[in-house]
Structure 1
Amino acid sequence: MENIRHKNIKPTYDLVVKKVFRNEEVALQFVKDIFELPAKSAKLIEGNQIFTANSNVESDFNIAVDILVELDNNAQVIIEVQLAKQVFFINRIWAYLCKQVNDNIERLKQNEEEQLAIYKKLPPVYVAAIVDQNYFDGDEAISTFLIKEETRNTELKMYVENNTQDIPLLKIVFLELKKYKENLNNDYKKIRWLEFFGNKQYTSEPDDVLIQADNLLNLRNWTKEEKRMYDEMTRQQDHYWASLTYAQEEGMRLGIEQGIERGIGLGIEKGIEQGIERGIEQAVITLMKNGYISAEVAAAQLKVDIEDLDKYL
């Protein structure tokens, strides 16, 4: 059996991630480690959605965004966690980031004293994407994206009020948990978060902040309401995977029956293939209709564009 730290909890579930980063000391340390930003404090912006009422992003478009952390140097960090690979995920991240910048502008406009200094006070927005499925080729578990000049490799930075130096205009960091392995060629301050969210044993002695974060994963320290919510979330996830497994098994059964009815040899093989495919399609659509998965996840499972889902309904 895999040697994991916590047997009864998954650190990447939405409720767990929010509980971890509600601790501002942990949130600050994560952001400092991953983005190398000069910050002394951080605060979690509460709420289920990071966007203000001015945002015109559809409500179901915001579900996957977990938290928004704001630093004392005015930078903001969107932390996004994905359990399943999603179609157009990069586009989503860009939309989240742009909408947050837009909402910051709208907020500054509402303050008459700041209208003349909107761009002076505009904070940068960064994104940390913690993903349970791989998105990029290669073995690198941590990928950092910046804006740089094409030939001189000069990084584009921006002025931020009250900072002693300009800081990156854009920074998007992906942590691909499945690419984790011991002795990765990265700064261990970053690697330890792969170990934390990947539920791996630590390869170096954890410091006080990481111990504090790990204690938040101990269900004995949770309230009854938190445990109830986590149990419900786990039940939905288990139901989702069980439904897909049932669809495969039922598809196999139907396929064999159809194959036998058609004859031998290729007929059985073809029947099995068609039965499995039809069973999975039905299960995925049922899960989407019942709200267990989003349209994006359904499209990814069926390997179609979201616009083509109508033909399955």
Structure 2
Amino acid sequence: MEERHKNIKPIYDLVVKKVFCNEAVALQFVQDIFDLSAKSAKLIGGDKIFRANSNVEDDFNIAVDILVELDNHAQVIIEVQLAKQAFFMNRIWAYLCKQVNDNIERLKQNEEERHAIYKKLPPVYVAAIVDRNYFEGDDPISTFLIKEETRNTELKMYVDNDIKEMPLLKIVFLELKKYKPELKESYNKVRWLEFFGNKKYTSEPGEVIDQADDLLNVRNWTKEEKDMYDERTRQLDHQWATYAYAREEGIEYGMQRGMEQGIQQGMQRGMEQGIQQGMQQGMEQGMEQGIQQGMERGKIGTIVNLVKEGIIAKEVGAEKLNITEKEFESYLQEM
């Protein structure tokens, strides 16, 4: 399906931060995805964008992508992932627990009575926008709650003087790769799959989504924002350096496989033509084939990974391999 924006990926971290810095957009997203009747929202975390050469250690940095607070005191963490991570659920749990703990510490400093801390402790929810599938099934939107095992009763909580109960915990996953134009979900939810998935809208998205799309127009960005995006783009050079390394690894792998295959072929032929002559011929042919196959698989695998991570477009990957996009699709499915 044709992309709305050719030169911008809406799911890139710094682009997502810019989108949700618009509090009207953040509020609409939370209302649509979590079915919350909030009237206003404010960004209280995630407005800082780290440069590629910063000293932040990504593996140990638990600063959330986006943190929004609603007028009903509920807080929503919005986390985005391009590549699939084996421990992504653990990271979400760490983000959520840390935020709850931070809220407790903040209330301890402001409240004299202990019971007031629990009275004013807000619920914390998580929205995970992911470019890779994490769950079985075709549903692109998965909502998780805490419920009693046999009666299916949901745990809820009161917030301050609000008489309406709210879910104690709510985590929503948007799996962008599962999007299909014929989805039966409420379009208020589907339009966010189309927005972050860079798909053409199948219906009128609404004024707020139009505002969000305007934020993707680079011509309206500040110089600092453009510099940041350019810096992110320059990281592609590093990715291509990784490709060169993978190519060398492919050669080494091919040589090793070639020797193994050559020995096997040589031994087989040696039984028929003589062990010495067969081993020599088998090793030479096996090494040549192995080197060639290793180089080619290394090149293909690297470019496929770059496309899957959203670093380059599919058509660019196909061009690099000098094949059609349809042929490239088969590699995306295989690897």
- TM bin (shorter chain): 0.7 to 0.9
Q: Structure 2 stretches of 5 or more lacking a match? A: 49-56, 263-282, 301-335
Contact 1:97 1:127 in 2 (8 A): yes
Match runs of 1:200-219 below 5 Å:
200-219=199-218
Q: Name 2:303's counterpart in structure 1.
A: none
Task: Evaluate the alpha carbon distance shift between residue 32 and residue 48 of structure 1 in structure 2; reply closer, same or farther with a 3 A threshold.
Answer: closer
Q: Name 1:252's counterpart in structure 2.
A: 250
Contact 1:248 1:276 in 2 (8 A): no
Contact 1:141 1:176 in 2 (8 A): yes
Match runs of 1:40-51 below 5 Å:
40-46=39-45
Q: Name 1:284's counterpart in structure 2.
A: none
Contact 1:255 1:273 in 2 (8 A): no
Match runs of 1:88-167 below 5 Å:
88-113=87-112, 115-167=114-166
User: Does residue 242 of structure 1 match 2:240?
Assistant: yes
Give the partner amino acid of 2:247.
Answer: E
SS at match of 1:251: helix
* C-alpha deviation, 1:273, in angstroms: 7.5
TM-score computed with the length of structure 1 as normaliser:
0.78
Q: Name 1:87's counterpart in structure 2.
A: 86
SS at match of 1:129: strand
RMSD between superposed Cα atoms in Å: 2.8
Give the partner amino acid of 1:206.
Answer: P
Contact 1:132 1:176 in 2 (8 A): yes
Contact 2:111 2:117 in 1 (8 A): no
Task: Evaluate the alpha carbon distance shift between residue 243 and residue 162 of structure 1 in structure 2; reply closer, same or farther with a 3 A threshold.
Answer: farther
TM-score computed with the length of structure 2 as normaliser:
0.74
* C-alpha deviation, 1:107, in angstroms: 0.6
Contact 1:45 1:70 in 2 (8 A): yes
* C-alpha deviation, 1:38, in angstroms: 1.5
CA distance in structure 2 between the aligned counterparts of 1:82 and 1:169, rounded to whole angstroms: 24
SS at match of 2:65: strand
Give the partner amino acid of 1:252.
Answer: G
Give the partner amino acid of 2:240.
Answer: A
- Residues 230-263 of structure 1 show CA distances to partners (whole Å, capped at 9, x for unaligned) of 1111221x23542443344333334445556651
Task: Evaluate the alpha carbon distance shift between residue 75 and residue 39 of structure 1 in structure 2; reply closer, same or farther with a 3 A threshold.
Answer: same
Give the partner amino acid of 1:253.
Answer: I
SS at match of 2:43: strand
CA distance in structure 2 between the aligned counterparts of 1:63 and 1:270, rounded to whole angstroms: 43
Match runs of 1:27-46 below 5 Å:
27-46=26-45
